[in-house]
Amino acid sequence: MPPIPYRDRPWPDRDLPLDGSVVGYFQFVHTTCVNKVAGLDEEQARATPLPASPVMSVLGLIKHLTAVQRQHIQRHAGGSDLPSLWRADDHDHEFRLGPDDTIASVVDAFDEEWQRSRTTLATIDWDATVTVYDRPVRVGRLLVDVLQECARHLGHLDIVRELVDGTKGE
């Protein structure tokens, strides 16, 4: 299977209200994360070049971000009963790649989760309060926290991608 192509990544519209801006940045970060896989072959996408983080690969980071969206946008903010992708007994579970994980399957799952997230983000009350890990939090604040986590892991993707093949930048 050929490597996935680079995707166009427009900057979010500056005239959007705050909730629209947050969704726009989620889209921007999502596309940038997918672009970190673009051009890699399966071996490169699975490579774990950080000795101190032996499960951190480009694909593993994408799997983790899929789990982040599922947990926080679908389950916490949206109240969905979709199954969690976390395993409480294994902190690195969602970073690990199985033998059937491929660039296509991992990116497809990430894209599908993002489409669910877009629907949820368009229908939830950003001012509502939800309980997350036994603490109340306003949905809008939770979403900003999730966006921060996604952006932080995008930085990890930058580093891992550069170590894998020398590609730098967004």
Count structural domains, the chain: 1
How far apart are alpha carbons 159 and 144 in whole angstroms? 23
Range of the domain at 47: 18-165
Reported pTM: 0.94
pLDDT tens digit sequence for 140-156: 999 999 999 999 999 99
Task: Say if 10 falls within a structural domain.
Answer: no
Task: Say if 8 falls within a structural domain.
Answer: no
Residue 1 confidence (pLDDT): 62
Residue 102 confidence (pLDDT): 97
Task: Say if 160 falls within a structural domain.
Answer: yes
Residue 8: exposure state from Cβ atoms within 10 A (0-12, 13-18, ≥19): exposed
Task: Say if 6 falls within a structural domain.
Answer: no
CATH of the domain at 49: 1.20.120.450
Which residues, in sequence order, are bridge partners of residue 130? Answer: 137
Task: Say if 7 falls within a structural domain.
Answer: no
Residue 25 confidence (pLDDT): 95
Residue 78: exposure state from Cβ atoms within 10 A (0-12, 13-18, ≥19): buried
* Regions of the chain short of the pLDDT cut 70: 1-2, 170
Residue 2 confidence (pLDDT): 64
- CA end-to-end span of the chain, whole Å? 24
Residue 8 confidence (pLDDT): 92
Task: Say if 13 falls within a structural domain.
Answer: no
Task: Say if 1 falls within a structural domain.
Answer: no
Task: Say if 9 falls within a structural domain.
Answer: no
